[in-house]
Amino acid sequence: MDPELAASLDDVRKAAARDPNRWRNNPEKKRKALEGMGKLLAEWQQENGAFTEEELARARASMYGP
């Protein structure tokens, strides 16, 4: 995965981990963040091609554990 994209995703993950209640207490903020992440991922795939199964598996493991 592109290092810049990986760093952006990691920043989002860390922010959510620091204060998980901020998503529950502000659904509009959560919706906007998810939309932004979706746009970021779509732009990356448009420029670099679709994610491979291996990349998706690593992303899932990074987010949810092995």
The rounded radius of gyration (Å) of the Cα atoms in the chain is 13
pLDDT tens sequence across 3-23: 777 777 777 778 777 776 766
Phi, psi angles (nearest 5°) of residue 52:
-80, 165
Cα 2 to Cα 5, 20, 26, 32, distances in angstroms:
5, 26, 30, 23
Question: Which long-range CB contacts under 8 A does 52-55 form with residues at least 24 apart?
Answer: 55/1
* pLDDT confidence band for 1 (50 / 70 / 90): low
Mean pLDDT for the stretch of residues 21-48: 82
Q: Is 38 a residue whose pLDDT tops 70?
A: yes
